Amino acid sequence: MKFVHRDSDGSELAIVKLEKNFGNHYFIQQFCGDDNWEKVRAEAWIQLIQDAFNEAKRISADTIQFRLIERSDFVPITQKLKEWGFSKLQERIEYRRNLSELPKEEGTPIVWSALLSLESSSLKEAAELLSIVAEGDPNFDPQADALSELQADLNDSTLTTGTECIHIGCINGEAAAFIFAQVAPKNKWSRITYMGIAPKFRRKGLGKWVHRHGFEMMRNQGGLLYHGGTTTENLSMIHLFELHGCKVYRKMQEWKCKL
């Protein structure tokens, strides 16, 4: 569901969307053109977010997650979030770079293969590997249903969702890495939805090769702009962004409310 704040000419100036994540869990997102942030007062954002929050309560959502973009005056928004029962989880930093400027993967020690199918059995195996490579990731809830989260991302109508989006990386025939990359065909915006390395294969310098394979996947799907991010505490991932010349795009705060 979309909630809109309009400019004086009736054009959409700021948007807040309430969307299902998986199961009965929802998330709220902010959208605003780079040139419009200064035009939107905190009060307008608060009203849009409150409208989305009230809708989530109306439909009896279990949880709501919200990524607050640190642009213009965001402090009044955080005060309202606390009043509504949200708790701050962590801070996030996001990066961007044109895919044409990112390195290729010549010399990689990892052998990659795409998911064989999107049948439930294949997705279940992929979800099991996802749970393994996500071990220790503060962004991944070990109690969460990895299969449901995977299916939710594969049901996104704005992004590519074929077998080419999920690759399994092997070393000496053993599954060592997982990567899930998607592209928005409409504007060629691209993301690595998730990437990870199994604990047994960590601290061996493989992270850069997994990241670079993601670049190839997005290019092969027609992507032009890579948009990625991580928590401010994930120093190893921040190092990869910096290693590959990605530039800071914005900072965010992640909040969550259990209804």
Ordered by start, the domain boundaries in the chain are: 2-85, 99-250
2-85 classified as CATH 3.40.50.720: no
C-beta neighbour count of 50 within 10 angstroms: 14
Backbone angles phi, psi at 43, to 5 degrees: -60, -35
CB 115 within 8 A of CB 121: no
pTM: 0.88
pLDDT one-digit tens code per residue, 1-27: 999 999 989 899 999 999 988 889 999
Q: Which two tokens stand for residue 201?
A: 């294969």
User: pLDDT tens, 165-218?
Assistant: 999 999 999 999 999 999 999 999 999 999 999 999 999 999 999 999 999 999
The answer to whether the 2-85 and 99-250 domains have the same CATH topology is yes
**Torsion angle defined by CA atoms of residues 220, 221, 226 and 227, in that order, rounded to the nearest 10 degrees:** -150
pLDDT of residue 142: 67
pLDDT score for 72: 78
| CATH code for residues 99-250 | 3.40.630.30
